[in-house]
Chain A
Amino acid sequence: MLSVRGLTKRFGEFTAVDDLSFNVEQGQVYGFLGQNGAGKSTTIRMLLSLIRPTAGEINFFGQSLFTHRKEILAQIGAIVEKPDLYKYLSALEHLSLFARFGGHRPDQKKHLLLLEKVGLAQRATSRVGTYSQGMRQRLALACALVNDPSLLILDEPTNGLDPQGIADMRQLIRSLCKEQGKTVLVSSHLLSEIEMIADRVLIIHKGKKVAEESMESLTAKASQLKLQALPEKRYVLEAYFLSLTNQ
């Protein structure tokens, strides 16, 4: 579904992403981890063609992003960093807007169902300016889903959500993957959340890949490292992440 080879991005002397390669298979929830400034957002921006890579290849669905950008983006829904939306528009108007971008006619019934799914049906016609951060996050997810994409790229989707919201988001991502066969690439700093939903995890540090494992293999490795013996109660992924990033 997604194949990245030798992806590099330099800003002058600074290398933000360095020779990154990974594969995301269809139907997977793919966790994308890294510290602040590790290069996660730069990578996601390159995947969405917001910034041009210095080197490397990005292929979606067997096609190069550089030559088939429009067709590829038509099959991707995304949230990039914090969800900034049009404060003067309502949730329904946002969905109409993004439906048109995807070349679809706005369908209010369908949009209301989608808003119900993300828990925003009650505020469908309120201006986004009146929304909390969590509600904006939910709307951003609805916007990403409005054109029924086969791949979702979600950058910190649980940011600003309350515990119930986080649980709902987790549930939603799982159901999108299991019930609708969608592929989800999700980055988060909440390692416990990734551990609960991801099938496979990519960890980057200072722009370089330091690990790419399935959750099963990662759990096994963590056992070998005897991480469970640590005095604090930590999740496996968190412990493994910290050992890799020298914290």
Chain B
Amino acid sequence: MFISILYTELFKIFRRPRTYISFGAIAVIVMLVQFALRVNGTEFIRFFTDSQADIFEIPESQILNGYFVCVAILHLILIHVPLLVALIAGDMIAGEAQTGTLRMLVAQPASRTTLLLAKFSASTIYVLLLLLWMALFALGGSLLLFGQEDLVVFRETDLHIISQQDVLWRFFAAFIYAALALTMIAALALLLSVFAENALGPIVATVCIVIVFTILQQLKVPVFEQTINPWSFTTHMLGWKGFFYVEQTSEGVTITGSVENPMALVKSGAILIAYTLLFVLVAERVYRKKDILC
């Protein structure tokens, strides 16, 4: 039964023209960034390397490669993708309540728990497909346009050079991690969707929550750093970048295949999963007992 409902939910998602706005938006954004970096990539790199330009030979043309462009795109896009995820997941229940189809759906011979889980799973599949699409354009497209080379990742106070043989698995891991983070956003939007009878509310609320916590994180105010930020999901959503921080030997040489403090990534992943489960659990509890009045 679950599979049948999941199929119908996916069918509805992918028959709805609105769904493809996200895919189109991602393709356009990726191509715009690629174009911008093709035209002005060295300027972009100089922003990071300017302070060292008179000390080191900066191999700008080598740094500007497909992997670097892909990281730059993920950097720009993954902050905004929660909006695209909320657009679908926030609409899952509230949207059907708004259009009146929810009462037909709930009167079907399936438990509300099954229905909710099918809707959540459909949102998750949508997230995965969105990320696959992004990977295709951002990684595949950038490699085609800019070629392969070692990856240079800039952090606030250091930079990591990762040899190209050691890069691809990091992208796969980062995409899987990003899927985890976006699934959590889908769960949040679904939870808010359960309370609303208008699709706009949960979509806007989800985006607002993400923005507020991102601002709190970026403010770097000690009181937030010690209280909210360690548990804020936006802090852990950035975990995908952790796969691009490489561990060093005591002699200062990076270790191939290593990740700096992998336990932090495990912890962040666990926190994201915990949030996802919490949101889905609360959504299920509320939805199971909710009167469908619309």
Q: Tell yes or no: A82 within 8 A of B by CB.
A: yes
Q: Tell yes or no: A162 within 8 A of B by CB.
A: no
Task: Considering the complex, give the chain A residue whose CB is closest to the CB of B111.
Answer: A70
Asked if residues B15 and A89 are in contact (CB atoms below 8 Å), the reply is yes
Asked if residues A52 and B289 are in contact (CB atoms below 8 Å), the reply is yes
Asked if residues A73 and B291 are in contact (CB atoms below 8 Å), the reply is no
Residues of chain A lying within 8 A (CB to CB) of residue B15:
86, 88-89, 93
Asked if residues A73 and B101 are in contact (CB atoms below 8 Å), the reply is no
Asked if residues A101 and B108 are in contact (CB atoms below 8 Å), the reply is yes
Q: Tell yes or no: A74 within 8 A of B by CB.
A: yes
Residues of chain A lying within 8 A (CB to CB) of residue B110:
70, 101
- Measured as residues with beta carbon below 8 angstroms from the partner, the interface class of chain B is 20 to 34
Partner of A101, one of B8, B289, B291, B293: B8
Asked if residues A84 and B111 are in contact (CB atoms below 8 Å), the reply is no
Asked if residues A103 and B291 are in contact (CB atoms below 8 Å), the reply is no
Q: Tell yes or no: A166 within 8 A of B by CB.
A: no
Residues of chain A lying within 8 A (CB to CB) of residue B289:
52
Task: Considering the complex, give the chain A residue whose CB is closest to the CB of B16.
Answer: A88
Asked if residues A74 and B17 are in contact (CB atoms below 8 Å), the reply is no
Residues of chain A lying within 8 A (CB to CB) of residue B111:
69-70
Asked if residues B99 and A70 are in contact (CB atoms below 8 Å), the reply is no
Docked Cα-Cα span, A93 to B85, in Å, equals 25
Asked if residues B7 and A100 are in contact (CB atoms below 8 Å), the reply is yes
Docked Cα-Cα span, A85 to B107, in Å, equals 14
Residues of chain A lying within 8 A (CB to CB) of residue B4:
100-101, 103
Docked Cα-Cα span, A100 to B101, in Å, equals 16
Task: Considering the complex, give the chain A residue whose CB is closest to the CB of B106.
Answer: A50
Docked Cα-Cα span, A84 to B11, in Å, equals 18
Dominant secondary structure of chain A at its interface with chain B: loop
Q: Which of B235-294 contact A (CB under 8 A)?
A: 289, 291-293
Q: Tell yes or no: A48 within 8 A of B by CB.
A: yes
Residues of chain B lying within 8 A (CB to CB) of residue A88:
15-17
Known contacts A89-B12, A100-B5: A82-B100 contact under CB 8 Å: yes
Docked Cα-Cα span, A69 to B106, in Å, equals 11
Chain A residues with a Cβ closer than 8 Å to the other chain, count: 33
Residues of chain A lying within 8 A (CB to CB) of residue B16:
88
Q: Tell yes or no: B59 within 8 A of A by CB.
A: no
A6 to chain B, nearest CB (A): 19
Task: Considering the complex, give the chain B residue whose CB is closest to the CB of A42.
Answer: B293
Q: Tell yes or no: A92 within 8 A of B by CB.
A: no
Asked if residues A100 and B8 are in contact (CB atoms below 8 Å), the reply is yes
Residues of chain B lying within 8 A (CB to CB) of residue A50:
103, 106-107, 291-292
Asked if residues B11 and A97 are in contact (CB atoms below 8 Å), the reply is yes
Task: Considering the complex, give the chain B residue whose CB is closest to the CB of A127.
Answer: B15
Residues of chain A lying within 8 A (CB to CB) of residue B292:
45, 50-51
Task: Considering the complex, give the chain B residue whose CB is closest to the CB of A69.
Answer: B111
Docked Cα-Cα span, A69 to B289, in Å, equals 14
Known contacts A70-B111, A97-B8, A97-B11: A86-B101 contact under CB 8 Å: yes
Q: Tell yes or no: B79 within 8 A of A by CB.
A: no
Task: Considering the complex, give the chain B residue whose CB is closest to the CB of A140.
Answer: B104
Task: Considering the complex, give the chain A residue whose CB is closest to the CB of B103.
Answer: A80
Task: Considering the complex, give the chain B residue whose CB is closest to the CB of A93.
Answer: B15
Docked Cα-Cα span, A140 to B103, in Å, equals 12
Asked if residues A51 and B293 are in contact (CB atoms below 8 Å), the reply is yes
Residues of chain B lying within 8 A (CB to CB) of residue A214:
none
Task: Considering the complex, give the chain A residue whose CB is closest to the CB of B293.
Answer: A51
Task: Considering the complex, give the chain B residue whose CB is closest to the CB of A76.
Answer: B107
Docked Cα-Cα span, A84 to B101, in Å, equals 5
Q: Which of B98-133 contact A (CB under 8 A)?
A: 99-101, 103-111
Contacts A48-B107, A97-B12, A103-B109 aside, 17 further interface pairs with beta carbons under 8 A come to A45-B103, A45-B293, A48-B106, A49-B106, A50-B291, A51-B291, A70-B110, A70-B111, A72-B109, A83-B104, A84-B103, A89-B12, A93-B15, A97-B8, A102-B108, A103-B4, A143-B104
> Could you give 28 example pairs across A and B, Cβ below 8 Å?
A45-B103, A45-B293, A48-B103, A50-B103, A50-B106, A50-B292, A52-B289, A69-B109, A70-B109, A70-B110, A73-B107, A73-B109, A78-B104, A80-B104, A81-B100, A82-B100, A83-B104, A84-B99, A84-B101, A86-B99, A88-B15, A88-B16, A97-B8, A97-B11, A101-B8, A101-B105, A101-B108, A101-B109
Query: Across chains A and B, which 10 residue pairs bring their CB atoms closest together, nearest first?
Result: A84-B100, A74-B109, A51-B291, A73-B109, A101-B108, A50-B292, A48-B107, A100-B4, A80-B103, A97-B8
